[in-house]
Structure 1
Amino acid sequence: MTTLSFAKLHGTANDFIYVDAREGFPGDPAALAPRLCDRRRGVGADGLILVLPPSNGDAHCRMVIYNADGSRAEMCGNGIRGLAKFVHDRGFLRASPLRVETDAGVKTVHTEVANGRVVRVTVDMGLPVWEGRAIPVASDGEVIERPLEVAGQTYRVTCVSMGNPHCVVFVDDVAALPLADLGPRFEHHPFFPRRVNTEFVRVAGRERLVMRVWERGAGETMACGTGACAVAVAAARTGRAARHVVVVLPGGELEIDWRDDDRVLMTGDAVDVFEGRIEV
């Protein structure tokens, strides 16, 4: 048995276990993630995030993400905000801006610091990808308001990648959705060869969107940063909202700015929960 030191942080109540793995990690993180993320038998979290050395000189560190089921995620918007706080507040890295290597490329992160601690983080999430095969979905070209039959009902879906695949569905009432039943049906639909994160969205105004999310490998979560970005660009692309919006999630609010240069900026909180050690 080995003792593993960790910290638990959350961004808009999307919570993660962070481990400084720059000098190694005990065992297989994909196998360990389900045990650590178990909310009854482990620490409890939506995912496990490792901080590793960068693979090249373009970044200060590398972020590797494992979902609660042990699957690997390319990118996580709430997770990268927490990583910025994790490395800054513990004195590991205090670069500003911080450049973080992910499986979806290098992301630039700006932190707002008060009394020596990170309180708010803005992430350059890059450019949305609309080409179907690149998202990926089982279709060529863009998927904008396309009819898709799921569980015997036809939904109009807009698909986009923000470093990971998203399917956005606009609805009149997000609260009434049977998400525990509907979410897995979208996630495992054959139209999505690498599964998908699905966002159900109500437009509350030109600058305000309300959403719930079913994340592949994690289920319904309190928030999803890449999902909030996907929702914002899909709403703007379909004429439902402005390019600068607040996205309201069960865990809080995120500010999303789809700039004229096509880059998407996400701003939100990053909060320490606790630190601990566990035998693995």
Structure 2
Amino acid sequence: MGRFSKMHGLGNDFVVIDARDDAVAMTQARARAIADRHTGIGCDQLIVIGAADDADVSMQIFNADGSEVEACGNATRCVPLFVGRDVTIRTKAGLLDAKAVDGGVSVDMGAPRFDWDAIPLSLPMDTLAMSASWEDLPPPAAVNVGNPHVIFFVEDMDGVNFDRLGPLIEHDPLFPQRVNVNFAQVTGDNHIRLIVWERGAGLTRACGTGACATAVAAIRRRLMAGPVTVSLPGGDLVVDWAPGGTIRMTGPATHVFDGEADWTRF
């Protein structure tokens, strides 16, 4: 039997598996089965916490469709709560550190990348204002914060059909690794309302990396200066970044319950 915790960050929920002492063989089919809300445990993302040579722990991240991804900001905030102390975390996106602070958990998410082939895009173009768009959406920005994001700053969020445009853009050939799609509206001097269509998961109550990418894009476009409050359906995150530096994200993390499961049954 393997130990797990059910956790969430602003309603973006996770099954967090402890594989530090006993490795857990995770396949796409197994991750998808565990994430299923009807026949499995149920989650937006499955997180596997393991041992690491150059950090306190390692973290693998699987979306509900079973695909493995590089980064998840909300999940990263849950790791210190799961481990019981401040930690450094080895991920596919690099080495991150997460620590408890007033207001929840603060995570250094590393430095954003802006080169077209670092997003990645299939064609060279300026990622601050891309020479591509979809239907009546404005030209977006693109940022890689460990995983790929495209950000649309819209005048009226309520006029956007997220369910139609999200998957259309996620699977566009311009994004060879697919993409997380962020729909943002500036609502104040340092405040953004955000809806995220998450790659492999769909509409989500909160996306930490989406909040980071959107705040960075807003600062790059000189729409505002950090720190930026990003309001998602699940609640608020605070993101701070200055050009040339790393991204600091702060927000809540919640432990729901613990359990045990036989992973070979999934």
Q: TM-score, normalised by structure 1?
A: 0.89
Q: Which amino acid aligns with 2:105?
A: V
Q: Does 1:128 align with 2:112?
A: yes
Task: Report the Cα offset of residue 44 of structure 1.
Answer: 1.5
Q: Secondary structure at the match of 1:235?
A: helix
Q: Percent identity between the aligned chains? A: 41
Single out whichever of 64-73 and 260-269 deviates more from structure 2: 260-269
Cα separation, 1, equivalents of 2:130 and 2:227: 24
> What is the match of residue 5 of structure 2?
7
Task: Report the Cα offset of residue 27 of structure 1.
Answer: 4.2
Q: Does 1:139 align with 2:137?
A: no
Q: Does 1:212 align with 2:195?
A: yes
Q: Does 1:78 align with 2:78?
A: no
Structure 2: runs of 5+ lacking an equivalent: none
Cα separation, 2, equivalents of 1:109 and 1:211: 23
Per-residue displacement from partner, 1:67-107 (whole Å, max 9, x unpaired)? 1001011011001111121111xxxxx3x4x2100001100
Q: Does 1:247 align with 2:230?
A: yes
Higher strand fraction (1 or 2): 1
Task: Report the Cα offset of residue 278 of structure 1.
Answer: 3.5
Cα separation, 2, equivalents of 1:209 and 1:10: 22
Q: TM-score, normalised by structure 2?
A: 0.93
> What is the match of residue 148 of structure 1?
132
Q: Secondary structure at the match of 2:6?
A: strand
Q: Which amino acid aligns with 2:112?
A: P
Cα separation, 1, equivalents of 2:95 and 2:235: 26
> What is the match of residue 96 of structure 2?
107
* 1:1-280 equivalent positions in 2, closer than 5 A: 3-54=1-52, 56=53, 58-88=54-84, 94=85, 96=86, 98-112=87-101, 120-140=104-124, 142-150=126-134, 152-153=135-136, 155-259=138-242, 261-279=244-262, 280=265
Count of residue pairs the alignment pairs up: 263
Cα separation, 2, equivalents of 1:157 and 1:260: 19
Q: Secondary structure at the match of 2:146?
A: coil
Structure 1: runs of 5+ lacking an equivalent: 89-93, 114-118
Q: Secondary structure at the match of 2:138?
A: strand
Cα separation, 2, equivalents of 1:84 and 1:141: 38
Cα separation, 2, equivalents of 1:247 and 1:37: 27
